[in-house]
Chains A and B, each alone.
Chain A
Amino acid sequence: MNNATYSSLLELAAGLVILCAFVTLWRRSLSAIVRALCVQGVALGLVALVLGLHRRDAVLITVGCLVIAAKGAVIPTLLRRVLANDSLNRETSPLVNVPASLVGAGALTFLAYGATRPVVALVPTSAGRLIPLGLATLLIGFFSMVIRRKAASQIVGLLLVDNGIALVAFLATAGVPLLVELGASLDVLLVVVVLRVLAVQLWSKFAVLDLDQLQELHD
């Protein structure tokens, strides 16, 4: 792979990650949001694959394949099971409407470029220039956790945060050591499983779907 193809492939994959983050804010149907998340997982795995092929790093290539399997297949399947319980399957009343939330996400992307300046300065490669996209994905994840009310939407927000961090890790350091990487991925997978179990219990025992209904505990 020559240098020009390498950097354009990398840009394409990283661009796809942030694009999917915007799509999750734009669409209100939860199954479309999960599809976007699935594409984002695959794009994230491609980032690792491209980096791995470029650096001839077998570990990174393996990690890329694992990421595609976990985030492109396993996690979306788990999420679809949560949605199966949900008769409405739509984010009906987000706190901020769609056009305003897209503008907000644009502003967060600018913020990400500002905040990562010291990091980008330290990594003057074509991969390093893309680091702000990772932070922007993370911030959009936070934003969607704040403005959305369905239990499933909060899980999506958490996964966006995680994908953003993984993107930063791949671009900045070509991935943390393998042991840590595997542990971290396993933890994320388990968190999704735990949240799924809790969502099912809340739904089947107390018919709770909207987080606004969680009002038992307060001061």
Chain B
Amino acid sequence: MLTILLLAVPLATGLVAATQSWRRWVGWLCTASLGGVLVLGIVLATRVLHGRAVSAFAGILRADALSAFMVIVIGAIGLLATTQSVRYLDAEITSGRGTARHATLYAVLVQGFITTMLLAVLAGNVGVMWVAVEATTIITTFLVGHRKTRGALEASWKYVIICSVGIALAFLGTVLVYLAALHAGHGTHVSLQWTSLMSISHHLDPGVMRLALGLLVLGYGTKVGLAPMHSWLPDAHSQAPAPVSALMSGVLLTVAFYALLRFKAICDGALGTAFPRALFVTVGLLSLIIAASLLLSQHDYKRMLAYHSVEHMGLIALGAAAGTPLAIAAVLLHILGHGLAKAVLFLASGEILLVEGSTEIDQVRALLARRPALGGIFAFGLVALLGLPPFSLFVSELNMLRAEVQVGLGWAAAISLICMAVIFGAVMSHGRHMLFGARADGEPVARTHSIVTVPLISGLVGCAALGVLAWPLESLLRAAAMVVVR
């Protein structure tokens, strides 16, 4: 019941938005819908915390602690992003770049985007989950190209071509998992349910599963933004409207990673931990190295944030490679912390673009002196993203590194630390250019609208609170980790 309600809330909101001509209250209704998703996610979490999953439609929808956690991530970051959608659409309409029809299309697509992401994490069936992840690509294409500039259309083209190829590979991987399950089931009823795949995972043919896992990591890895299939990510995330970038970078990447976590648990059963671990370590380190080398020479702050996502996806891939309960709990905390911090930064960068008119790092100067509130949010966002205390990313990165050392991946942890140090230096130097400096003589201090400051500061406070007080989430994280650890 709860799972159906969760999908119905954004779906119904999307329908309402489609039938109404654009008004600001429609925008706030969309925000309220995400608030509803967050509340329902928390209710769902309390319901499934003690190991009892809820399901609907004969198991097509199924929610355990891991699904509930991902619903909370989608709700929290979606709420943050939709508060800024109204501001983005207002700016587009007043500047004459967009019309009311554009705004309606945007609102409907965002609600559809949220619905498909929720379906992906609530699907009890790997096939349905695949359909949902593919649907996110189709819906977000038009959101990426929403501004209809040449760059935006180019980014959409690359995005849909590369992600469709990637997700097609994931489908082939899913077919192979199904083949292995057919043969392991010995003629008994075989399905693509997570639960049945997990229960027969020890009997799945290792040769086929090895091929399947390779395809799944490459395929879903494309949507996660893991190297070597990451090249769409900086283009799409830098061209999309800021609230969409926040949603894509903050949640969509990790929804695809959720699929990998589930499949890794099945493959750990079929193949032992060594092969999946080697695969995850390889893509994780490759992503970190590529992110570090490309961040050094960035001149566009939205692209800088996008490459930063590649880095963090690499870090969680390494954490997942370690695979102990501690590591997976840290990976999940990192998913939430990174989502919040990255959403705040993308939303702040949208506001910077709006008031400064450029995404070039060189064109933005002395933000802290000229626009203290906006500059402060951007500065604290960067501090959070670089993994400094008190923000939760510090705790989760520390725990992931500890877990990696425990399972003998100390060398990988060392390489990731070096990459993180390089990225730290690069981002600090870019950030210094944008933030510090003196105000020109006679230039007034500009105030930032509270519609921007209040949600973004709450996002940062939330991220810091998670780092200091783990208690509200601790038991949920532990329960969710046990779903994919054997």
Q: Is the interface of B mostly helix, strand, loop or mixed?
A: helix
CB of B192, distance to nearest CB on chain A (Å) = 6
B150, A119: Cβ atoms under 8 Å?
no
Stretch of B95-103, B159-167, B413-421, B452-460 contacting A (4+ beta carbons < 8 Å): B159-167
A145, B165: Cβ atoms under 8 Å?
yes
**B297 in the interface, Cβ–Cβ < 8 Å?**
yes
Answer whether A165 and B165 are a contact pair too, CB < 8 Å, given A118-B208, A122-B183. no
- Which of A115, A180, A184, A214 meets B192, CB within 8 Å? A180
Interface size class of A (residues with CB under 8 A): 35 or more
CB of B101, distance to nearest CB on chain A (Å) = 16
B175, A176: Cβ atoms under 8 Å?
yes
**B156 in the interface, Cβ–Cβ < 8 Å?**
yes
Stretch of A22-30, A72-80, A154-162 contacting B (4+ beta carbons < 8 Å): A154-162
A184, B165: Cβ atoms under 8 Å?
no
Residue of B154, B174, B211 with highest tally of chain A CB at under 10 A: B154
B179, A219: Cβ atoms under 8 Å?
no
Answer whether A206 and B150 are a contact pair too, CB < 8 Å, given A145-B165, A217-B235, A219-B294. yes
Residue of A123, A179, A190, A217 with highest tally of chain B CB at under 10 A: A217
CA separation between A190 and B138, bound complex, in Å? 7
> What residue of chain B has the Cβ atom nearest to residue A215's Cβ?
B154
**A69 in the interface, Cβ–Cβ < 8 Å?**
no
Residue of B179, B192, B238 with highest tally of chain A CB at under 10 A: B179
A187, B183: Cβ atoms under 8 Å?
no
State how many residues of chain B have any CB contact under 8 Å with chain A.
52
Write the A157-184 contact mask toward B (1 if CB under 8 angstroms, else 0).
Answer: 0100110010011001100110110011
Write the A131-159 contact mask toward B (1 if CB under 8 angstroms, else 0).
Answer: 00000001000100100000100100010
Kindly identify, within residues 174 to 190 of chain B, every residue whose CB is under 8 Å from any CB belonging to chain A: 174-176, 178-180, 182-183
CA separation between A27 and B293, bound complex, in Å? 41
CA separation between A173 and B180, bound complex, in Å? 9
The interface residues of chain A lying within 8 Å CB-to-CB of B191 are: 177
B160, A201: Cβ atoms under 8 Å?
no
Residue of B128, B155, B175, B207 with highest tally of chain A CB at under 10 A: B175
A205, B150: Cβ atoms under 8 Å?
yes
Q: Is the interface of A mostly helix, strand, loop or mixed?
A: helix
**A194 in the interface, Cβ–Cβ < 8 Å?**
yes
**A32 in the interface, Cβ–Cβ < 8 Å?**
no
B127, A214: Cβ atoms under 8 Å?
no
CB of A100, distance to nearest CB on chain B (Å) = 23
Stretch of B3-11, B35-43, B140-148, B335-343 contacting A (4+ beta carbons < 8 Å): B140-148
The interface residues of chain A lying within 8 Å CB-to-CB of B125 are: 179-180
**A121 in the interface, Cβ–Cβ < 8 Å?**
yes
The interface residues of chain B lying within 8 Å CB-to-CB of A198 are: 141, 145, 153, 156-157, 160
Answer whether A214 and B158 are a contact pair too, CB < 8 Å, given A118-B210, A122-B180, A183-B128. yes
**B234 in the interface, Cβ–Cβ < 8 Å?**
yes
**B205 in the interface, Cβ–Cβ < 8 Å?**
yes
> What residue of chain A has the Cβ atom nearest to residue B293's Cβ?
A219
Answer whether A158 and B161 are a contact pair too, CB < 8 Å, given A180-B131, A180-B192. yes
The interface residues of chain A lying within 8 Å CB-to-CB of B160 are: 191, 194-195, 198
**B130 in the interface, Cβ–Cβ < 8 Å?**
yes
- Which of B148, B192, B239 meets A176, CB within 8 Å? B192
Instruction: Report the 4 A-B pairs with minimum CB-CB distance, sorted nearest first.
Output: A118-B207, A180-B127, A183-B131, A187-B134
Residues of B within 8 A of A (CB): 60, 125, 127-128, 130-131, 134-135, 137-138, 141-142, 145, 148, 150-151, 153-158, 160-161, 164-165, 168, 171-172, 174-176, 178-180, 182-183, 191-192, 205, 207-208, 210-211, 234-235, 238-239, 294, 297-298, 303
Residues of A within 8 A of B (CB): 115, 117-119, 121-123, 138, 142, 145, 151, 154, 158, 161-162, 165, 168-169, 172-173, 176-177, 179-180, 183-184, 186-187, 190-191, 194-195, 198-199, 201-202, 205-206, 208, 211, 214, 216-217, 219
